[in-house]
Amino acid sequence: MKSLCSTLFAVLLPLSTIAFSQSDATPVAPSGAQKSFDTMKNFAGKWQGSVTVVPKIEEMKDTHMQVTLRVTSRGNALVHEMKEFGTPDDATRYDHPVTMFYLDGDRLLLTHYCDAGNRPRMVGKVSPDGKTVEFDFLDVAGSTQPGHMNHAVFTFVDADHHTEDWTYMMPGDKPLHAHMDLQREK
């Protein structure tokens, strides 16, 4: 039995190496989803900037946001974290939603792990000029009673500047729009 395990290990290890390196062997034109995902991964880093909310909410007046984008899982996922600038990294006491971007076949998807306790998914599509990726609502897991994220748009201005527009559907299907104008932290 020990020699069978050793033989399997000796055979499977090189096969896994071949599987990971085979993607380099045959060049294939990237899909629109892959292009969108690659564009978004180029914006990995720390960002901060102002947020404008419509309709206006007094508590959000003069709010500055901090956004972190991080490539993970061998380049197969992008983690997006946002929080109010200057608040502690304590997600049990402060809003600190996380969004995961990933490819699912020929679709770019996001799953937003919302402070409202639900997980909406959206499908992304890149604009013809490649500077904007827009995400449309697909479905949601969890209760939508407190509301849920419904739409997101990422616009890439240059290597150190991008905007994010998020639409949250409040109870009664009333949209709340948040526009973040973000600069890369130096």
Residue 104 CB coordination number (10 Å): 10
For residue 7, what pLDDT is reported? 46
Q: Is the pLDDT of residue 16 over 80?
A: no
For residue 14, what is the enclosing H or E element? helix 2-21
Mean pLDDT for 41-46 is: 95
Distances (CA, A) of 49 to 58, 70, 164: 18, 18, 10
**pLDDT 10s digits, 118-161:** 999 999 998 988 899 999 999 999 999 999 999 999 999 999 99
**What confidence category does residue 3 fall into, taking pLDDT thresholds of 50, 70 and 90?**
low
For residue 180, what is the enclosing H or E element? strand 174-184
**pLDDT 10s digits, 100-130:** 999 999 999 999 999 899 999 999 998 988 8
Query: What whole-number distance in Å separates Cα of residue 28 and Cα of residue 8?
Result: 32
**What confidence category does residue 55 fall into, taking pLDDT thresholds of 50, 70 and 90?**
confident
State the average pLDDT for the chain: 85
Amino acid at 26: T
- pTM passes above 0.85: no
For residue 109, what is the enclosing H or E element? strand 107-113
Q: Is the pLDDT of residue 98 over 70?
A: yes
Q: Is the pLDDT of residue 94 over 50?
A: yes
Which domains does the chain possess?
31-184 (2.40.128.20)
Q: Is the pLDDT of residue 62 over 90?
A: no
**pLDDT 10s digits, 18-40:** 454 555 556 677 788 898 899 89
Distances (CA, A) of 8 to 4, 18, 22: 6, 15, 21
For residue 10, what pLDDT is reported? 47
**What confidence category does residue 174 fall into, taking pLDDT thresholds of 50, 70 and 90?**
very high
